[in-house]
Structure 1
Amino acid sequence: MLKNIAFPSLLALSLSACATAVPPVEVTRFHIDNPARSGTVAIEEMAGNPDVGLEFRTYAAAVDQELQRVGFTRAAEGTKSDYVALVGFRRTFREPNSYGANGKPVSVGVGGAVGSGGYSGLGVGIGINLSGKPKGQVVTQLQVQLRRRADSTTVWEGRAQTEAREGTPASQPGLAAQKLAAALIGGYPGESGRTISVK
Structure 2
Amino acid sequence: MDATIKPLKKEISEPKTIVRPSREEAEQAVRTLLAWAGEDVSREGLQETPKRVVKAYEEFFEGYRLDAEEVLNKTFRDVGGYDDIVLVKDIPFFSHCEHHMVPFVGKAHIAYLPTDSVVGLSKLGRVTDVFAKRFQTQENLTQQIIDAINDSLNPRGAAVMLEAEHMCMSLRGVKKHGAITLTQRFTGVFAEEPKEQDRFFQLLALQK
Structure with greater proportional strand content: 1
Q: Same fold (TM over 0.5)?
A: no
| Greater length-normalized contact order (CA 8 Å, ≥ 6 residues apart) | 1
TM-score normalised by the chain length of structure 2: 0.28
Could you say which structure has the higher helix fraction?
2
Asked which structure has the greater CA Rg, the reply is 1
